[in-house]
Structure 1
Amino acid sequence: MTTTHNPNPALFTYTHRVCYSDTDAAGFVYHGRYLEIFERSRAEWLAQRGLSPTKLVNELNIVMPVRELTMNFYKPGRLDDILYIDQAIEHRGRTQISVKQTAQRKVLGSEDLEIIASAVLHIVCVDTNSLKPKAWPDGLFLAE
């Protein structure tokens, strides 16, 4: 799993190779695994900014729970597929962001990418002590 840099600074791309544990009995990526893969992408996005969930809790006193999500599945992912997970912040409010994530793979015999799954997640910034929404820290979204 590696990270690739996209020329569009508002778009972040994470690369994931589908392994056996990602698949179901039919040999397709199990739908619930996309949530885990998308979570890894968001964790890497934070790491690229020098942040981690531990640092968010211990230094900034925040957590970022998913409040709502919508997923769409277009084609089945398969064992050994290389998935390119694009992540873009579609909307940023004072305490909530909407993040669109897409899982794409190369079309066989081509360099073109096809979308196989996507999700829109609404993530809230929450204070660890009061568990109430809190404004996003300054500088977290500088690259956007």
Structure 2
Amino acid sequence: MTTHFNPDPSAFTYIHRVCYSDTDAAGFVYHGRYLEIFERSRAEWLSQRGLSPTKLINEMNIVMPVRELTMNFYKPGRLDDILYIDQVIEHRGRTQVSVKQTAQRKLPESEELQVIASAVLHIVCVDTNTLKPKAWPDGLFLAESH
């Protein structure tokens, strides 16, 4: 699976270089590491909006646990690959959001991107005091098209 590299200034892309700690004995990105890489991408997405997990907890009294996820693996990632992690809000409800994250790498000698893994995460906004679902804060998704 490939896409053309056409950066949209309104889109958010996190860039990650695959290092030794990301790989397994065969030299491929260990499947569990994609969850960590995707989480770093979401943390950067928040940071670009002037937010952090600490700020969400201390100032907004919310946490954002993952309720469900589905992952697909297409090609193995390898040591020194530069991964481009894109995320798209596929659905946003009052207290839940579905985020699709895709890990891609450039094909050699090309601007074309190859999809190597993807995940769809269902994330819930939860009140830190009651531990019950809570409406998303106003403005959190302003930069999104949905």
The one-character-per-residue Cα deviations of 1:74-101 (angstroms, maximum 9, x if unpaired) are 0000000000000010000000000000
User: What is the distance in 1 between the residues matched to 2:133 and 2:111?
Assistant: 43
User: What is the distance in 2 between the residues matched to 1:121 and 1:99?
Assistant: 5
Is 1:46–2:68 an aligned residue pair?
no
User: What is the distance in 2 between the residues matched to 1:26 and 1:84?
Assistant: 22
Residue 97 of structure 1 is matched in structure 2 by 97
Residue 3 of structure 1 is matched in structure 2 by none
Under a length normalisation based on structure 1, what TM-score does the superposition of the two structures give? 0.94
Q: Shift of residue 7 of structure 1?
A: 2.0
Residue type matched to 1:44 in 2? Answer: E
**Percentage identity across paired residues of the two chains:** 87
User: What is the distance in 2 between the residues matched to 1:117 and 1:12?
Assistant: 17
Residue 4 of structure 2 is matched in structure 1 by none
Residue 74 of structure 1 is matched in structure 2 by 74
The one-character-per-residue Cα deviations of 1:85-143 (angstroms, maximum 9, x if unpaired) are 00010000000000000000001121100000000000000000000000000000110
Please give the root-mean-square deviation of Cα atoms over the aligned residues, in Å: 0.8
Paired residues in the alignment total 138
Equivalent runs, 1:1-144 vs 2, <5 Å: 6-7=7-8, 9=10, 11-144=11-144
User: What is the distance in 1 between the residues matched to 2:12 and 2:70?
Assistant: 19
Runs of 4+ aligned residues of structure 1 deviating over 4 Å after TM superposition are none
Provide structure 2 residue ranges, at least 5 long, that are not aligned to the other structure: 1-6
Residue type matched to 2:100 in 1? Answer: K
User: What is the distance in 1 between the residues matched to 2:75 and 2:121?
Assistant: 20
User: What is the distance in 2 between the residues matched to 1:128 and 1:98?
Assistant: 21
Under a length normalisation based on structure 2, what TM-score does the superposition of the two structures give? 0.93
Which secondary structure does the structure 2 equivalent of 1:139 belong to? coil
User: What is the distance in 1 between the residues matched to 2:106 and 2:137?
Assistant: 36
